Every structure is written in C-alpha cells, then in structure tokens.
C-alpha cells in the first residue's frame, strides 16, 4: 500500500514577522472508539480495511501508546477530508455508515480539526503502520495562529536541513469540544509522523540527545504545553 502523508510539526519566539495563515491542507474528523467484547484492535483494523467508504482522503486508526487516560479497549478513528464541504457531500454526518462488528464509536462527540503542513517533508509510509506524536499547547496572549505558523514553519525547515525526515503539521480544532477547552482561540497542536516507527523513534532520540528530554518545540511563547502523546497509527484506506 503506497500512502503519502502530508503532515505537520513544532512552535515560537516573541518577535515574529506577520504572515497570513495559509489555507489548510486538509480537514480531519476525530472520533473516540471502543472495541467490542471479545475483539482486538487487529480485528478492528482488518474489518476497517475490508469496508468501502468513498470520499475521505484517508482513514487511520490510532492506538494510544503514551496517553493520560485511554483504556485498553480504546482507539481513535481519524478520517481526513479535503474540506468540510467534501465531508457534507459524502453524507458523513450519518451514524449508520459502515456499522462495525468489532468496535463502536462515539459519533455524537466527533471533533473537527484543520491541518497545515510545516516544512517541505512528506512521508511515504514503509508498511501500513507508523508512530505519531501530538503535542497540544495554549498560546500566550498576543501570539496569533499566523505568528505560530510562521515560527513553526521556519523551525521545521531548519530541522529538515539537519536531516530530520519526519513530516509535521500545525493542527487547529474548529468544531467540537475537548474536556478541557479553556483558552479557545489560543489552542493549537503539533503532529509529527515518521515513514516508519523506527524513523520517528530515531528522530526523537536525536532531539532528546541535544536537549536532554523535551521535544524541540517546548521552548516557545506558549503559555503552556501538555506532555507529548504517542500513538501507533494504522492506515485503513487511502484515496
């Protein structure tokens, strides 16, 4: 399966040159899902790959690896679209599309995000699964999303020039609500993906070898950042 990931990564100094926020590369819908009794994640992945659902750019199941509260029977379904209009045209708001035997999802609690590629890296997946990191931050007062994107994009380009092969993106929540949604309008996320689990692990090892422990975007004008989360991403389909 040949899959190209157009992704997203890192965060900001105090003085920035104003720049308009570019158009999103894609919009994606995040849904919390739960395995039915007697089924494994492999069952859910195999069932998903056998289903047919036209419209999305790709579908990914994320298995929590290092997260604060996910249960052993939980995973996250990510469905990427060109934009919200494409989602509407595919009648994806319905909850009876591809009803699954092995798992169920909380469709009424879906969350919508836009993502913008950082740097130039794109990743051709080696196999059908990889590792993904996600870091959520709250920007300081006065730091705009455009400011954040400009700094992140420069930072991603600098990392790539030093041999970092990850793809990264800036992610913004646009619909739905998280449990802790204080600071709306200043919340953002950074997502990084490797061509393989080993690729991403090697990149993180290189970062940690330089600064001891923190990801390379921890020293930014964010008011606060949560610890980076780690997922294993299984690619279900790609158009």
Instruction: Say which residue the tokens 């993502």 belong to.
Output: 115
Q: Residue 217: which of 192, 197, 196, 198 has the closest Cα?
A: 192
Q: What is the pLDDT of residues 143-187, one digit of tens each?
A: 889 988 988 898 889 889 988 899 999 999 999 876 655 555 688
Q: How far is CA 17 from CA 38, 53, 97, 149, 154, in A?
A: 55, 43, 45, 11, 11
Q: In 50-182, where do the E strands start and end?
A: 58-66, 74-81, 103-105, 111-118, 123-124, 129-139, 167-175
What domains are defined for the chain? 4-238 (3.30.70)
CA atoms within 13 A on the CB side of 101: 8
* Selection from 22, 198, 27 nearest residue 125 by Cα: 198
**The pTM is what?**
0.85
Q: pLDDT tens digits, residue range 114-144?
A: 999 999 999 888 989 999 999 988 888 888 8
């Amino acid at each position: 399966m040949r899959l190209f990931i157009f992704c997203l990564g890192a965060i900001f100094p105090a003085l920035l040159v104003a720049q308009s926020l570019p158009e999103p590369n894609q919009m994606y819908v995040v849904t919390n899902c739960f395995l039915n009794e007697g089924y494994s994640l492999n069952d859910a992945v195999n069932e998903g790959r056998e289903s047919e659902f036209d419209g999305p750019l790709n579908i990914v199941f994320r298995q929590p690896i290092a997260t604060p509260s996910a249960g052993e029977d939980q995973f996250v379904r990510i469905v990427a679209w060109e934009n919200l209009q494409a989602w509407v045209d595919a009648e994806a708001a319905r909850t009876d599309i591809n009803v699954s035997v092995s798992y169920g999802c909380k469709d009424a609690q879906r969350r919508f995000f836009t993502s913008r590629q950082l740097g130039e890296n794109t990743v051709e997946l080696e196999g059908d699964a990889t590792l993904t990191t996600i870091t959520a931050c709250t920007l300081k007062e006065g730091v705009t999303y455009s400011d954040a994107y400009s700094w992140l994009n420069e930072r991603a380009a600098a990392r790539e020039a030093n041999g970092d092969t990850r793809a990264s993106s800036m992610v913004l929540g646009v619909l739905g609500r998280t449990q802790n949604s204080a600071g709306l309008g200043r919340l953002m996320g950074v997502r990084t993906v490797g061509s393989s689990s080993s690729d991403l692990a090697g990149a993180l090892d290189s970062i940690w070898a330089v600064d001891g422990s923190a990801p390379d975007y921890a020293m930014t004008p964010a008011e606060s950042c949560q610890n980076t989360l780690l997922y294993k991403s299984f690619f279900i389909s790609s158009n």
